[in-house]
Amino acid sequence: MKERTQNTFSRLRGGLAEYYEALTVTAILLLLAVVIILSGNSTELFHPLIRV
């Protein structure tokens, strides 16, 4: 019984770690996008992507 609970906890911790890793990557990408847009170079950087 004790082994099973430990196993479940470790699996949960692994899932949480993956989830938080994905969250931090998304947050960093969002921050980068905001910084680029606020810096005013967005039109030059994304000109091929966004037709203004």
Return the pLDDT at 6: 76
Return the pLDDT at 44: 62
Give the predicted TM-score (pTM) of the model: 0.49
Over the stretch 32-42, which tens digit does the pLDDT of each residue have? 988 877 776 55
Over the stretch 1-52, which tens digit does the pLDDT of each residue have? 567 777 888 888 888 888 889 999 999 999 998 887 777 655 665 666 655 5
Q: Quick check: 36 and 27 in contact, CB under 8 A?
A: no
Q: How far apart are the C-alpha atoms of 44 and 12, rounded to whole Å?
A: 44
In the structure encoding, which two tokens stand for residue 42, read together? 């967005």
Q: How far apart are the C-alpha atoms of 39 and 45, rounded to whole Å?
A: 11
Return the pLDDT at 28: 94
Return the pLDDT at 50: 57
Which residues fall within 8 angstroms of residue 42, CB to CB, at 6 or more apart?
36
